[in-house]
Structure 1
Amino acid sequence: MYDRILVPTDGSEAAAIATEEAVELAELNDAELHVLYVIEPIPLGKFAAGAEPASAEWDDVVDEQRTEGEDATASVAALADDHDVDVVEAIEHGQPNEQILGYADEHGIDAIVMGTHGRSGAGRLVVGSVTEKVVRKSDVPVLTIRKS
């Protein structure tokens, strides 16, 4: 039924719960699991108001985000490996919902599994969650996993 399943992760507890479901679904369908971490544009609030960050500061922030992404995708890959599920790890830059949908299109993803609340939690509800945007615009089924 599913050959390629995408599980976006941000390293949050909600993403970890969705990952468990995605791995099980991939195992049941003998599917390849794609794990995607999206590095969002650097928030200017990380630096003092009015201060122009030095290039080294920008590089440090980007390096920190890349390390977080590598850790998050490696964690999913380890769980998948425990279940003999093939994994493709990816880190992209941009708006999470756009990158998730674009990745799904580019890689022939058959289903997306994601948590209902990531790192930003309730605060993101004001502008609309990443999951909600993906559900509304996805051409493939999206399985949403609610954190208990």
Structure 2
Amino acid sequence: MYNRILVPTDGSQPATAAIEEGVTLAAQNDAELHALYVVEPIPLGGFSAGPGPASAEWDGVVDKQRAEGEAATAAVAQRGQEQDVDVVEAIEHGKPNQEILEYAADHDIDAIVMGTHGRSGADRLVVGSVTEKVVRKSDVPVLTVRMS
């Protein structure tokens, strides 16, 4: 039924619950699992795009986000390997809901599995709205997973 399943991840506990569902669904369908982390460019006070110390600080933030993304997608790959599921790791840059939907379209994804909550604090609200936007605009089924 499903050949390619997308699991967007931010490395949070709710994302981990979605990963478990995604890996299980991929194993049941002998499907390829795609792990996607989106680095969102967030304008922060004191950071600028121009040359100089502020630019170096901004580069550090992006590097840190990219490292978080690599760790998050590697965790999905490890979990997939444990269940004999092929995992494709990807990191994109942009607005998460847009990048998730574009990735799904560009890679012929058959289903998306996402957590309903993300990190704590303000990030939790952002990730929740990302899931909602993906559910509303996706051309493929979206399985939402609540953290137990």
TM-score normalized by the length of structure 2: 0.90
Cα gap change, 1:92/1:61 in structure 2, threshold over 3 Å: closer, same or farther?
A: same
Match of 1:9 in 2: 9
Cα gap change, 1:128/1:18 in structure 2, threshold over 3 Å: closer, same or farther?
A: closer
Question: Offset at 1:42?
Answer: 2.8
Deviations, residues 10-54 of structure 1 (Å, cap 9, x unaligned): 000000000000000000000000000000013314x48xxx962
Please identify, of 77-86 and 53-62, the stretch whose mean Cα deviation from structure 2 is larger: 53-62
Give the % identical residues. 75
Match of 2:139 in 1: 139
Question: Would you say the 8 A contact 1:7–1:114 is kept in 2?
Answer: yes
Matched, 1:40 2:23: no
Aligned pairs for 1:119-130 within 5 A: 119-120=119-120, 125=125, 129-130=129-130
CA RMSD of aligned residues (A): 2.0
SS of residue paired to 1:117: coil
Question: Offset at 1:56?
Answer: 1.1
TM superposition outliers: structure 1 runs of 4+ over 2 Å: 120-128
Question: Offset at 1:144?
Answer: 0.2
Q: 1:60 and 1:7 mapped to 2: Cα distance?
A: 26
Aligned pairs for 1:94-133 within 5 A: 94-120=94-120, 125=125, 129-133=129-133
Question: Offset at 1:75?
Answer: 0.4
Q: Which runs of 5+ in 1 are unaligned?
A: none
Match of 2:22 in 1: 22
Cα gap change, 1:56/1:125 in structure 2, threshold over 3 Å: closer, same or farther?
A: closer
Question: Offset at 1:96?
Answer: 0.3
Q: Which amino acid aligns with 1:76?
A: V
> How many residues are paired up?
144
Q: Which amino acid aligns with 1:134?
A: V
Matched, 1:88 2:81: no
Match of 1:75 in 2: 75
Q: 1:4 and 1:13 mapped to 2: Cα distance?
A: 23
TM-score normalized by the length of structure 1: 0.90
Please identify, of 29-38 and 115-124, the stretch whose mean Cα deviation from structure 2 is larger: 115-124
Cα gap change, 1:128/1:114 in structure 2, threshold over 3 Å: closer, same or farther?
A: closer
Q: Which amino acid aligns with 2:100?
A: I
Q: 2:14 and 2:74 mapped to 1: Cα distance?
A: 17
Match of 1:66 in 2: 66
